[in-house]
Amino acid sequence: MEQPLLSEKRSESEESERLSSYQYVGRTGSVIPTASLAGTEVSIEEIRSATPFPGPYPPSFHTPLISAPEPHPHEQAILQQGPYTTDYGAYSNEFQRQLLDEVEIRELLIDHVGHRCCWGSRPARTWKIHAVEDCNVYVGTLETFLEEREVIRETEPYLGDKIDGKDNGPELGIWELDLRSEFPVLFVPYKETRVKIPHSETIEKCSGCAGRGGIVCPTCNADQEPGFYKENQMAQCPACYGRGLIAHRDGSDTICTKCNGKGKIPCATCGSRGLIKCETCHGNGSMVTRNIAIVRWKTLSTRKVSATSGAASVPDEVFHRAKGVQLCNTQAYQCTPAYFADSFFLNKFSSDIIADRASVPPSARVICERHTISVVPVTRVTMSHHRQSFSFYIVGYSRDLYLKDYYPARFCWGLCPCLEWLKL
């Protein structure tokens, strides 16, 4: 039986204020704690006013926030409502417990073993079912769907085209961009898009060549001061070594055809111009710079599992994938803890999930949140034979079987993962 946290009595106003911080989750036979919560629906204006930033999205965008949220595809609706006693000494919504007989349990285990290399089915067929234990698990999630925007500078060579600068109008702020055409489905895991900010283009002098369109030749002007160069710098002819003549074995000389007898040739890198083409601006000397908005939509998830000691060895991810029954599913701009009239445990469980809300980056804004609590039926089965025993779990309404490590009829000496990796 639950005991009150405080011995002293709360006044009616304090109790009403405490209960009003919860979202009411209806139950047959439950008393609505405050009259203000009865039949109250959140309006579009209330949701929009809750958002601290005015946005370009139309009122129709907020419609999903006030409609009844659809159950998760891995969840079942509550078919029957009424109290049942749990291991936590609290009440919760009743769900259809999975009643498994010996034949069904053995069939599930035989099917699971049949998909494992080198596992024998004899224990599944012949060992005695020693114990069948219900150890149901509560699974809670808080999904925060947000939109993040940041600005980056993009630069490319200016080719003489018309630019979209401030002469065409003021530059829009990053949160003034209307991205309704890009907006994804709510609670999509991740989506990113790039948008050019209107009227943000400017023409700037190329920093690589100081607007000249070329950079100093490193071959013929290597000894010059930075930023200075000389034209018509000639290099020694490699054929005649600067003589202008080619010597022959018979003692005669002929004019060098490579330098025409001058002994000097133009710089092979720049043609003695002193400059080579700037690769940054492609020789144009100017760059066009614009602001690009990087917009990301993503969902941050906070997950929490409350399992009894009997199911403590099962990884949380198994319960999150399993099909269960939703006890609450609320969606709002900012979710608050759910309220269960008959269960202190579920109220605290919901409050802990909300308290662990994922942190939102400064460059992001919350669009909406979704808070769900589900109960997943879990059955722990122990089979024994003489002095040997092993346990496995049947999880969710899809009856997924989880067997952690030990199974008595394994003939691969632990080599199955290696054989699977080697594709043998």
Please give the share of the chain, as a percent, with pLDDT higher than 70.
71
pLDDT for residue 141:
95
Average pLDDT over residues 354-360: 93
pLDDT for residue 21:
39
pLDDT digits (tens, 9 = 90+) for 229-257: 777 778 888 888 888 888 888 878 888 88
Q: What angle do CA 308, 309, 311 make, to 5 degrees?
A: 70
pTM of the model: 0.63
pLDDT for residue 258:
83
Confidence of residue 96 (pLDDT cuts 50, 70, 90): low
Q: Report d(CA 378, CA 136) in Å as an integer.
A: 5
Average pLDDT over residues 269-283: 82
pLDDT digits (tens, 9 = 90+) for 360-412: 999 999 999 999 999 999 988 888 888 888 888 889 888 888 887 677 666 65
pLDDT for residue 354:
95
Structural domain including 129 reads 102-136+379-403
pLDDT for residue 9:
43
Which residue do the tokens 């034209």 mark?
Answer: 231
pLDDT for residue 47:
43
Any domain includes 279? no
Average pLDDT over residues 130-144: 91
Q: Report d(CA 105, CA 126) in Å as an integer.
A: 12
Any domain includes 77? no
What Å distances lie between residue 116 and 113, 120, 314, 315, CA to CA?
Answer: 5, 9, 19, 20
Any domain includes 166? no
pLDDT for residue 117:
66
Any domain includes 250? no
Any domain includes 109? yes
All residues at 6 or more sequence positions from 410 whose CB lies less than 8 Å from its CB, including other chains: 118, 119, 120, 416
Q: Which of 32-41, 174-183, 298-307 has the lowest mean pLDDT?
A: 32-41
pLDDT for residue 18:
42
pLDDT for residue 20:
43
Please give the share of the chain, as a percent, with pLDDT higher than 90.
29
Give the phi and the psi of residue 15 in degrees, each rounded to 5: -65, -40
Amino acid identity for residue 254 in this structure: T
Contact by Cβ (8 Å): 326, 78: yes
Average pLDDT across the chain, whole number: 75
Contact by Cβ (8 Å): 281, 210: no
pLDDT for residue 398:
84
Any domain includes 384? yes
Confidence of residue 19 (pLDDT cuts 50, 70, 90): very low
Any domain includes 374? no
pLDDT for residue 1:
40
Average pLDDT over residues 54-73: 46
Question: What's the number of domains the chain is made of?
Answer: 1
Any domain includes 391? yes
